[in-house]
């Protein structure tokens, strides 16, 4: 059995409460007397209060879902940028060696390797943004 979504549940509850109120008002006008205009107004206020609470719950559920989607999107974006960087590093043995040893022996590197390493670090930093 599938789960009812919050919006479907909200719609069903609204329809049921509207039918009850409508039947009560029709019965009131046909002099059956189980619902007066004053009690219908009170009932409508109760329904309105219920729907305000349900609306707040619905908005909270939507915000939670949107937050989760944003987190997932940010994680996927980070993985994409890092995987491109790692693919470029892993496919070139010279870059891999520079990446694995550059931070420790930076001073021992030649001028060209230092520039290359700085470029590599800059690429790493900007690929995450």
What is the pTM for the complete model shown? 0.50
pLDDT over 70 at 2, yes or no: no
63 vs 46, higher pLDDT: 63
Tell me the pLDDT band of 68, cut-offs 50, 70 and 90.
very high
Q: What is the dihedral of CA 108, 109, 110, 114, to 10 degrees?
A: -130
35: left (phi over 0), alpha (psi -120 to 50) or beta: beta
Question: CB of 99 within 8 A of CB of 88?
Answer: no
Cα(79)–Cα(81) distance, integer angstroms: 6
Dihedral sign from CA coordinates of 104, 106, 109, 115: positive
* pLDDT score for 96: 78
pLDDT in tens, 88-127: 777 777 777 777 776 677 777 778 877 877 887 787 777 6
pLDDT over 80 at 59, yes or no: yes
């Amino acid at each position: 059995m599938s789960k009812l979504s919050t919006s479907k549940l909200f719609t069903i509850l609204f329809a049921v409460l509207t039918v009850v109120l409508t039947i009560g008002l029709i019965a009131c006008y046909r002099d059956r007397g189980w619902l007066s205009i004053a009690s219908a107004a009170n009932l409508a206020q109760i329904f309105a209060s219920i729907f305000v609470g349900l609306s707040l719950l619905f908005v909270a559920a939507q915000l939670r879902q949107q937050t989760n989607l944003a987190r997932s999107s940010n994680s996927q974006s980070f993985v994409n940028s890092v995987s491109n960087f790692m693919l470029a590093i892993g496919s070139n043995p010279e870059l891999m060696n520079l990446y694995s040893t550059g931070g420790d022996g930076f001073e021992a590197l030649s001028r060209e390797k230092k520039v290359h390493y700085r470029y590599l670090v800059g690429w790493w930093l900007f690929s995450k943004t």
